[in-house]
Chains A and B, each alone.
Chain A
Amino acid sequence: MGDEIVFSTVSKCFAPIDRDAWNALTQGVAWADFLDASRRLLQRGAKLGEDESPASRVRLSCPLQDFLSVGEVNALFAPPSWEDVRSFAALHFTGGLPASAPPIESLYRLPGDGAEPFAPHGESRLPGSYYGESARYMRDLVRRMGMSLPPAFADCPDHLSIELDLLAVLLRSGMTHQAREFLSERFAWLPAFRLRLLGLEDQAHVRFYVGLVDVLLGVWLQHAADAASKRPFNDV
C-alpha cells in the first residue's frame, strides 16, 4: 500500500502550509516517495489501494515522462520554494482577483449541476459560486465521518486539499472501496481547473501545479478505465 501519499502530498501542495512543513514535504525523502508512488499509480493496470503483486514488481514500469510533459516532470522534480508557493497562492489562490484560480470544486460547477463540471473555454469567468452542492456534501461527509474542518477551509469544504486529504484518510483507513467511489465521483472538475491554471501567465509555477493536477487526472482516468473494463457488455 502507500497510494495515499500521492493524495496527501498533493493536498498539502494546494493548502496554506508553513515554511517548515513545506520544506519537510519537498526537500526530503517524502517528495521522492511521492514521485515514486505517483509513477506507480499511473501505470496501466495499477489499482488504487491494492498491494503490488510480485509479478507487477518485476514488470517494467514506465517513467513519469510517459504520463506528463517534460516541463511538468522537470517542475515536479524541482518543486518551488515556499516563498514562490506563497507568492503564487497570494496571486492565484486568492478570491476576487483577475487571475484567481482557487482550487475549489464549487467554482467549477454550474449551479444545480451535480454531475458534469463546466470547462470555461477561454472565458475568464468561473462558472460556479462558493458553497455549492459539492461543498455541502463535503461538509456533511466530513462531519458524518467524525472529523472536523479546519477554520481556514470553513468556506470551502470542497477545496482540493480537503478532498484529497479525505481520499488519503480513506485509503489509510483501509476503506479502499469507498476511496475508489470517492475518487470516481469527486474529481471530474479537475479538467476545468486545469484549464483555468493553464490560462495563468505565471507559467513557471503553473507547470508545477498543472503537473500535480495531471498526476491526479492520470489516476482518475486510470481508475475510470478500470471501472469501465469491469462493466458487463462494456463494448456492446
Chain B
Amino acid sequence: MALLQISEPGLSAAPHQHRLAVGIDLGTTNSLVATVRSGSAACLPDDDGRTLLPSVVHYGADQTVTVGHAAQKRQNQDPANTVVSVKRFMGRGLTDVADAATPYRFVDEPGMLKLSTAAGIKSPVEVSADILRALRTRAEQSLGGELVGAVITVPAYFDDAQRQATKDAARLAGLNVLRLLNEPTAAAIAYGLDNASEGTYVVYDLGGGTFDVSILELTRGVFEVRATSGDSQLGGDDFDHRLYCWILEAAGLSQLNDKDARLLLTKARQAKEALTEHASTQITAKLSDDSVIDVELTAEIFQQITDHLVQKTVTPVRRALRDARLTADDIKGVVLVGGATRMPHVRRAVAQLFGKPPLTNLDPDKVVALGAAMQANVLAGNKGDDDWLLLDVIPLSLGLETMGGLVEKVIPRNSTIPTARAQEFTTFKDGQTAMAIHVLQGERELVTDCRSLARFELRGIPAMVAGAARIRVTFQVDADGLLSVSAQEQSSGVQASIVVKPSYGLSDDEIGRMLSDSMAHAGDDLEARKLAEARVESESIVNATLAALEQDGDLLNADERQAVDTALAAAQAANAGSNANLIRTAAEALNQASGDFAARRMDRAVSRGLAGHKVSDF
C-alpha cells in the first residue's frame, strides 16, 4: 500500500506549485498591489478596472470603514473623518506634525500620534493597515487564494521608526511581510529586468510627499545600491500647494474657508496635471460665496513659480553622487519614478543635470509596485531561471551618545545591509556601575542635532576605576533596514539587548534639516566639538583632583592646598563658560598645580601597597 506523503511544515509542498505573493506600493497619495503571473508582473485592478487605490480612509460613526475612491468622495463633506496622506504620520509624534495644516483631531499619545475619528481613535498604523487590507482582499479575490507573503515598499529615506510602523501595519492587515523594500530599488528592479540593463543608473523618485534618489550599479543579476539620499519633505503636494497660493494671489483672495481651500487645492492639482499635455490651462472655480475664479495658467508661469522646488531635488542628487564617488558623466541612465516626475519641467531639469534625457518607458506610477512584485515572487520561493541579488544600504548614519553630548557614529550612512558594527566604550567615573545607552540617527556631531531613536541602561557593571570597564555596544541592521542594539561589559559579561522600537521617528522637517544642517554647520560643529571635548577633559581632571584631595588631602600643607584649590576653582569656573581655549588652559594649570601632589600620592600608595608584605612575596 502506498503511504501518503506529508511535507515538513513551512517547506513548499510541491516545487511546481506557485506560491501567491504580492508587491505593495503603499504611497502617500495612491497605493497599488502587483503580482507576477506566468512570468510577468502586472498591477491588479479593482472591479472597475482601476489599479490605483487612493490612500484615503473614511471612518463612519456606524464603525464602517471605507477605503479608496469611495472614501475620497467623502473627503469634502466629512474632512475630519476622512484620512488622507496618512503616510506622513507614520512613526511620528504630535510635535512632528504640529505645523501641518490638517482637518484632523489629533490625540497626543506617548510615541506615535493618533487620530480621533467617528469610529474611534485610530493610529496611523491602523489607518495604513486598512489600506493594506483593501489591497490584500483585492489580491486574494483576483488570484483566488491566500497570499503567502508580501513585499511592502518604503521611501529609501524612511528611518527606523517609520519602517517599523509600516511593518506593524502590514502585520495588522494580516500580511506576512517578506521584506520592506526601498521604493527606488524596487523601481530599479522593474526597470533593470525589463530592459536587461547593465551599468550605473540613477533612480529619481519624486512622489506625492517624499523625494528619494538612489544610485545603483546593475551587473549580471546584481542590483547594488551605491548611495541613497533624499528630502522627506518634498513631493508633488508641494507643487500643488505653491500653485494654490499662486491662484489666491492671481484672484486677489486672502483667507479661505476649509471647503473652498480644498476645492482650490483640487483645482491646482488638476491644472498641474493638465500642463503635462498642454502649454496652458484655464482654472475656473465657484466659491461658497458664489464668487467665480477664472485664471489662465501657462506652463511658463508654472515653471517659474515652482522652480525652487525642482532645484531642491538637486542637492540630494549631488550628495548621493558624492557619496558614491561618481560624477554625472558616470551615469548611464536616469529612471524617473513617481507621479510628480510627469511634470515636463522636472524632466527637463533632470535631463540638464545628467546631460541625457531620462528614461520614461515604464509608467512612473506603477514601476515601484511592479518591482516589489518581482522581488516578492523571488522571496516567496518561486524561483525562475532569472534570479537576482539585491544589495541595499541604510540612508542615515547610526550612532551613540558619548560624554559631552557628542555623537559617536557607529554605522555610517550608505553602509550595505545587513550590517553590524561593534564599538567599545568605557566608564567616566571611578566606581561607575551603570551606563545609559542612547541611540541616535543623523549626520551631525551633537546629540541635540540628531534624532533620538532609543535609550536603555546597562546596569551591574563591576565597579572599576574610570576607563577600565570595556562596554561593547553592537548595532545590527537587518535586510529590512531595521535596527537592534545590544551591549555587553566585556570582563563581566553583563549584557543588555533591545530591538530598537523608537517611541517616535524623525519628523519630515527634522530628517531633511539634519542632513543639510550637517553640511552647512560643519564649522559650527567643529567648534562645538572642541568645546565639548575640552569640557570632558577638564571635568575629568577636576573630578580626579577632588577625589584625591578627599583621600590624601593631608599630604599638602596650607600653602600647597591653597594653590591647588585656586587652580581647581579656576578650572571649574572656566568649565561653566564656553571658551574652549580657556577651559583647556585652566585644566592644564590645574594639572601642573597638582603635579607634586600626585607624585606624593603615588609614593604613599606604593608604601601602603608594600606594607605588611615580605620581600619574598614579590
Mutual binders A and B? no
Q: Chain B: residues with CB nearer than 8 A to chain A? A: none
